[in-house]
Amino acid sequence: MIRFRWSIVAASAALACLPLTAYLHAQGGPKVDVQFTDWNTATPNAYPHDPAFGVDGTSLWYTGMAAQALGRVDMNTGQAREFKLPGYHGPHGLVSDRDGNIWYTGNAAGLIGKLDPKTGQVTEYKMPDPAARDPHTPIFDRSGILWFTVQGGNFVGRLDPKTGAVTLKQPTPRSAPYGIVILSTGTPVFDLFGRNKIGTIDPKTLEITEYTLPEGARPRRIAVDAADIVWYTDFARGYLGRLDLKTKQVQEFPSPAGPGSQPYGISVTPDGAVWYSESGVEPNTLVRFDPATKTFQKWNIPNGGGVVRNMVTAPNGDLLLAYSGINKVGRVRIRKTT
């Protein structure tokens, strides 16, 4: 089933003369309208955790964590198909390589998997340390190396697809590496959900550097913009955060729904706008933040959201979302109206 709805929301009146951390719904910036389209997963109760964009330009892929499958939705036809995995893998995060293979983290099996959609064949890469029991989020750098986080096991990993070699490094103990992105320089950046920290790992030496956020912050997901500014959702305190890695300066912006908003999935679109979802409110919201004007706009997600744990930006600027609790995946199309 396909559902869609256009919605237009303008930013509200300014809160004048407030410090940076108090800006909320300030006036200014373009008005934006969005179109929500969603599709059911191929298997009921699949629990789609993360979305990914397919290199064919029409596919929205997802991890069916409860279905033990990877799913593909053709966004032109709405047709959904799932590829069953060879065992109880608990697929969590996923990403496509340049050839269209889908790589995923086997969160319940201590492995990274590669699916060839043409044949359905799955190749498994086991973790070299049994403590790395729960690979979490994967991402490719420009050279084709796969980087990933291991939340409970507390590692950041590197996998060379050419050799199959896996290398693991540990940040601060019990820091729960979670989201991961790649800077324009090729350096991976990851957030430590168990601490108030964000880290980088040198792609050559594998040396880890950690950056401290305000006390009590718990960065759950991260995104990076064209200037290599890192944006993060502070799940515990209800903030959108900005980290400049060069100056180590941190700025915080209260999320529209307040301290209990539980900001979660986040992405940056080509125009530099930061988008994320508030999972602590019902229905979940989709929030847009304009860094130039420091203004927010937000929309209630028409299907309720069911917790948007991750989102990605497609090359054309569309947002792709997974709605875990309601077994749907979706696309958000964005259009400036002024």
Give the rounded percent of residues in the chain with a pLDDT score beyond 70.
91
Question: Helix (H, G, I), strand (E, B), or coil: what is residue 45?
Answer: coil
Question: What pLDDT, on a 0 to 100 scale, did the predictor assign at position 174?
Answer: 98
When pLDDT is cut at 50, 70 and 90, the band that residue 336 belongs to is confident
Q: What is the pLDDT of residues 21-62, one digit of tens each?
A: 222 333 456 689 999 999 999 999 999 999 999 999 999 999
Average pLDDT on 145-160 reads: 99
The answer to whether 266 and 219 have CB atoms below 8 angstroms apart is no
Sequence-distant (6+) residues with CB within 8 A of 190 are 149, 156, 171, 177, 178, 179, 180, 181, 198, 199, 200, 201, 222
Q: What is the pLDDT of residues 275-298, one digit of tens each?
A: 999 999 999 999 999 999 999 999
pLDDT at 12 over 80: no
Average pLDDT on 314-318 reads: 97
When pLDDT is cut at 50, 70 and 90, the band that residue 311 belongs to is very high
Question: What pLDDT, on a 0 to 100 scale, did the predictor assign at position 245?
Answer: 99
Q: What CATH code is carried by the domain that includes residue 186? A: 2.130.10.10
Domain count for the chain, please give it.
1
Q: What is the dihedral of CA 227, 233, 234, 238, to 10 degrees?
A: 120
**What is the side-by-side strand order in the sheet with 285-290?**
263-268, 274-278, 285-290, 295-300
Question: What pLDDT, on a 0 to 100 scale, did the predictor assign at position 9?
Answer: 41
Question: What pLDDT, on a 0 to 100 scale, did the predictor assign at position 29?
Answer: 61
The burial of 208, by beta-carbon neighbours within 10 Å (0-12 exposed, 13-18 middle, 19 or more buried), is given as: middle
pLDDT at 8 over 80: no
Provide φ and ψ at 7, rounded to 5°: -140, 135
Structure token pair of residue 6: 């256009």
Question: What pLDDT, on a 0 to 100 scale, did the predictor assign at position 25?
Answer: 38
pLDDT at 165 over 70: yes
d(CA 291, CA 294): 5
pLDDT at 141 over 90: yes
pLDDT at 14 over 60: no
Question: What pLDDT, on a 0 to 100 scale, did the predictor assign at position 31?
Answer: 80
Buried b vs exposed e over 240-260: b needs ≥16 C-beta within 10 Å? bbbbebeeeebbbbbbbbeee
Question: What pLDDT, on a 0 to 100 scale, did the predictor assign at position 28?
Answer: 54
First to last CA, the chain: 32
Provide φ and ψ at 153, rounded to 5°: -70, -20
Rounded alpha-carbon distances, angstroms, from residue 243 to 17, 229, 247, 305: 23, 6, 9, 28
When pLDDT is cut at 50, 70 and 90, the band that residue 302 belongs to is very high
Question: What pLDDT, on a 0 to 100 scale, did the predictor assign at position 19?
Answer: 26
Q: What is the pLDDT of residues 186-229, one digit of tens each?
A: 999 999 999 999 999 999 999 999 999 999 999 999 999 999 99
- Is pLDDT larger for residue 72 or for residue 31? 72
pLDDT at 242 over 80: yes
Residue 122: count other Cβ atoms within 10 Å of its Cβ.
Answer: 19
When pLDDT is cut at 50, 70 and 90, the band that residue 15 belongs to is very low
Q: Residue 193 is part of which domain span?
A: 2-336
CA atoms within 13 A on the CB side of 27: 5
Average pLDDT on 101-109 reads: 99
Question: What pLDDT, on a 0 to 100 scale, did the predictor assign at position 320?
Answer: 99
